[in-house]
Amino acid sequence: MTGEEQAKAKAKKAEIENAERKFQELVAKRDEFNHLAQIARDERNALNGRKRDLLDVVQKLKIERDEQVRLLREHKRVRNQLQDQARALLKTKRAKTGKVYSDLPSEAAARKAEIQYLDMKQQTQVLSLAEEEELIDDIKKKAHELRRLEAELREQAGIKVEIGEMDATLTDLFKKADEQHALVMKHYDEAQRLHERMMKLIEECSALHNEADRKHALFLEHREKADAYHLKATEMRERLLTMKNEKRMQEREARQIIQRQNKAAREALLNPEKMEKKREEALELLMKKGKITL
């Protein structure tokens, strides 16, 4: 092999080695960004998984909260119903109370005393016929008035009994209304506690969603770079294979030429003229291939 051939072979080898090194660098970069993309994808999936778990908890809390709200509304309805009944009964009680006169017993007692006095007067005093008739008429009027007052007293006694019963009923209604109101507040506080916990988890879900979107964008960015390096590595690999194939073909052609020269040399040992001809043919072939110059 001539010096020029050796220089070309060395340059070709260096070119292939550089291409091989560049190819390995591209593959390493591709693998690096694929690894980064996988990390970003795994982190994104973990964030989305955490968000799904929290959303499941939020859904359960929502069901519990809605149940507390339902109970709150039911107890509120019963409370309002009891309060309405109490207000209506209180109105009736006030109307009944307005029919009770505190002076009625003393008026009845006074009428009774007056009748007794007039009876005593009739029995103990000497009266003229006209005076006695007037006294009797007065006694009848006062007796009639007493009966009216006694009837009103009996009616008032019944009203007082009703008012007493109303007071007991009102006490019971207000007690039950207070109990229902306590339950309303209990379920309200529980619903509020569940709602506040839901809101905190929803805020956390929102933060996880935003972080997952950021990781997804990072995943796409790394994958895009990995794809770009993969494309460059593929192109470099094809170029490298072409260079290696060319080198092998050149080496094979050189070996074939040497083999033919050796064969011709062996034949020329028996035929000097033929040996000279073969030498000229080989020299001409090498010149055509650019292996040597004159």
**pLDDT tens digits along 217-226:** 999 999 999 9
pLDDT computed for residue 107 by the predictor: 76
Q: Which of 150, 146, 157 is nearest to 100 (CA)?
A: 157
Q: CATH number, domain at 142?
A: 1.10.287
Each residue's pLDDT tens digit, 120-178: 877 777 777 888 788 788 888 888 988 887 787 777 777 777 888 889 999 999 999 99
Please classify residue 85 by burial: count the beta carbons closer than 10 Å to its beta carbon, then call 0-12 exposed, 13-18 middle and 19+ buried. Answer: middle
Range of the domain at 99: 3-289
Within-domain flag for 294: no
55 compared with 11, residue with greater pLDDT: 55
94 or 199: which carries more pLDDT confidence? 199
Number of domains in the chain: 1
pLDDT-derived band at 28 (thresholds 50, 70, 90) equals very high
DSSP string, 93-152: HHHHHTT--TTHHHHHHHHHHHHHHHHHHHHHS---HHHHHHHHHHHHHHHHHHHHHHHH
Cut 0.75: pTM above it:
no
Can you tell me the distance from the alpha carbon of 44 to that of 31, in angstroms, rounded to the nearest whole number?
Answer: 20
